[in-house]
Structure 1
Amino acid sequence: MPTCSPVSRRLVLSGLAAALLPASALAADDVWPSRPVTMIVPFAAGGSTDVIGRVVAEGLRQELGQPVLVDNRGGAGGTIGTAAIVKAQPDGYTIGMGTASTLAINPAAYKSLGYDVLTGLIPVSNIAAVPNIMTINPAVPATDMKSFVALAKAQPGKLSYASAGIGSVSHLMGEQLKLATGTDIVHVPYRGIGPALNDAVGGQVQVLFDNLPSSLPMVQAGKLRALAVSGPSRVAALPDVPTFTELGLDDLGWMAFFGIVVPEKTPAAVVSKLHAATVKALGHEEVKSRLVAQQAVIVGNTPAEFAAEIRRDLDRMKRAVAAAKIELN
């Protein structure tokens, strides 16, 4: 009977071991991606998440050598699309966009989502973060946060703030301010930030919390007065406006983040390759310029760092949701 040399025997055993590996592991180690990748964006086309997702998808296409197709799954505040990401095949061919709304606010505010963002998803990288901003109508007799808080305390229940709707970023920021300053400001929810912004400019409501890009033109035109912005440093476009952290309001210092997540059980090799490609894509000049045009701060951190950010923001939102007694179904 013929015998195999030690080298031949090792090759045979290696081949058998490879044959027994699941297809996802082989794809992760050897050929991923060998076909187009789908990026689920849990909001409708045209919004900030969609715009940022498409910018990064193009950068990823160049780095991965495969098309990255954007699939908008809007509805129910981002919960429909996020559920689709959680339930997707964990093979690296479905990735998703995760935001402050879908990964922190929704889990804190909804009674039941049917999924757990902390265990059902693997964070890959925080792509970019957009500062939030608090503005007031110029008719309000306050020039800074100190005088505004004094005014609000002197007139409990008389001032109102507009939001994009119950459970939105702007709603949670308003509740966080009330909690941090001990003020009583009435919440007026709208169906979207557009009408909320219009009524803040018109003076029907006195205060507005918003992502920076949509409110910035109104501040620059003098139609709204900025009191504070979120983030680790002041915004270049508004150098005289302090951050919430500078004002001692740390719980409002978070920014609206936009990151990449994948379903749990996605192979570690895929996560590693996707993370590396994301960081490289964020270094492309066109990607950087288009993100900066959205007033975004480019991040590109590690999976562990992004996971820590999600947990921290989720804890913040849980405190605000509990204080405001918010519960969404």
Structure 2
Amino acid sequence: MTPSTPHTSRRLAGLALALAGAFAALPGLAQSGFPDKPVRLVVPFPPGGTSDISGRVLADALSRELGQPVIVENKAGAGGSVGARYVAESKADGYTLLLGTTSTNGTNSAVYKNLPFDAVKSFTPITRILEVPGVLSVNKNFPAKTYADFAKLVGQSPGKYVYASSGNGGATHMAMEYYKSLSGMRVVHVPYRGTGPALNDVIGGQVDMIYDTLASSMPHIKAGNLVPLALATPQRVKDLPDVPTFAELGLKSANDGFWNGVLAPAGLPADVLKTLHGAIVRALRTQAVQEKFAAAGAIVVEDTPAAFAKIIADDVAKWKKVAQDNRISAD
């Protein structure tokens, strides 16, 4: 056996370092052993809403995929901006994530003048997890029961009819204003403090119509208190086969629903991003997640991080134009 020499030892040590560097550079090989402790998923809204429900469904399935607990934390306020800021200012190590929405990383950028974070630059997008269709509905006593009759009636009396929203500058308000700009319909906005009060007054007949998420409007549609006219969704909804999509009505640009997605702080390491993206996608493909999202009126979606980043950038640009054109702002 050839005895070791100082020169040989140095060569072996150098080879070991080179091999270690090569393995560390391999894509997808988690250098940090991520995750080795619980992960927090910040839901920037109060418990009980669509985002909170979807976040908890995902967290349960994601815990199994990651082999670590995924703990939901509700940090509500300012239309989701409080929770979004918290995540934006957190360490980019994969242990603090945001359940982002059309509001937190879209419409809020357009209506809040001094957000303490950038909806695009302050985050690492991982993937959307679901899309909730939007729906334009009228109360059961409204004289028009189809979109064609609605368009004719409203078009003949600009400014006569009113619509409710969950609040000034909210995602549903912005979506309705975007629809108005595309269709030429002139209806008056009545903002409420939340979806519940807005729905109550539409159902009660004090307000003519509402643009809402299908998830919160569907029970009232099934009860016969709301009449759906058009849906913002890729295809018709199984439970509402006679209701057309906006795309079918020639309003393709108004056909986007409201999304939820998972984001991390900007600067997330590539290996951690790959681990999280793979685990979330696997969780989304489980039967339990798909069934629970469907029960909430949501459609499961998944994106590459790059595709999700483009969706956010495009949304921010779109909503900023809507806000500017309609002079919409929030405190």
Give the TM-score, by structure 2 length: 0.93
Alignment-derived partner of residue 195 in structure 2: 193
The match for 1:277 among 276, 279, 301 is: 279
Alignment-derived partner of residue 295 in structure 1: 297
Matched, 1:9 2:35: no
Partner amino acid, structure 2, of 1:301: D
Alignment-derived partner of residue 140 in structure 2: 138
Partner amino acid, structure 1, of 2:210: L
- Provide, for residues 250-297 of structure 1, a one-character-per-residue CA deviation record: whole Å limited to 9, x for no partner: 232111101000001110111111000001111222111111111111
Residues 131 and 42 (structure 1 numbering): CA distance in 2 closer, same or farther, change over 3 Å? same
Alignment-derived partner of residue 91 in structure 1: 93
> Is the 1:179–1:323 contact (alpha carbons within 8 Å) kept by the matching residues of 2?
no
Partner amino acid, structure 1, of 2:260: F
Whole-angstrom CA distance in 2 between matches of 1:187 and 1:245: 24
Whole-angstrom CA distance in 1 between matches of 2:34 and 2:181: 48
Whole-angstrom CA distance in 2 between matches of 1:53 and 1:328: 26
> Quick check: 5-14 or 102-111, which moved more?
5-14
Matched, 1:65 2:70: no
> Is the 2:31–2:271 contact (alpha carbons within 8 Å) kept by the matching residues of 1?
yes
Q: Look up the SS of the partner of 2:168 in the other structure.
A: coil
The match for 1:110 among 96, 109, 112 is: 112
- Provide, for residues 171-206 of structure 1, a one-character-per-residue CA deviation record: whole Å limited to 9, x for no partner: 112211221122221100111000111111111000
> Is the 1:122–1:263 contact (alpha carbons within 8 Å) kept by the matching residues of 2?
yes
Count, aligned residues: 323
| Cα deviation, residue 323, structure 1 | 2.0
Q: Look up the SS of the partner of 2:145 in the other structure.
A: coil
1:11-160 equivalent positions in 2, closer than 5 A: 11-12=16-17, 28-160=30-162
| Cα deviation, residue 13, structure 1 | 6.0
Query: Gaps (5+ residues) in structure 2?
Result: none
> Quick check: 70-79 or 211-220, which moved more?
211-220
| Cα deviation, residue 166, structure 1 | 0.4
| Cα deviation, residue 104, structure 1 | 0.7
| Cα deviation, residue 112, structure 1 | 1.7
The match for 1:305 among 293, 307, 314 is: 307
> Is the 2:50–2:215 contact (alpha carbons within 8 Å) kept by the matching residues of 1?
no
Partner amino acid, structure 2, of 1:8: A
- Provide, for residues 207-230 of structure 1, a one-character-per-residue CA deviation record: whole Å limited to 9, x for no partner: 111110111121122211110011
Partner amino acid, structure 2, of 1:36: P
Whole-angstrom CA distance in 1 between matches of 2:278 and 2:202: 42
- Provide, for residues 142-184 of structure 1, a one-character-per-residue CA deviation record: whole Å limited to 9, x for no partner: 1322321221222121100000000112211221122112222
> Quick check: 165-174 or 139-148, which moved more?
139-148
Whole-angstrom CA distance in 1 between matches of 2:76 and 2:157: 40
Partner amino acid, structure 1, of 2:201: D
> Is the 1:28–1:267 contact (alpha carbons within 8 Å) kept by the matching residues of 2?
no
> Is the 1:142–1:148 contact (alpha carbons within 8 Å) kept by the matching residues of 2?
yes
| Cα deviation, residue 28, structure 1 | 4.3
CA RMSD, 1 decimal: 2.0
Whole-angstrom CA distance in 2 between matches of 1:187 and 1:96: 31
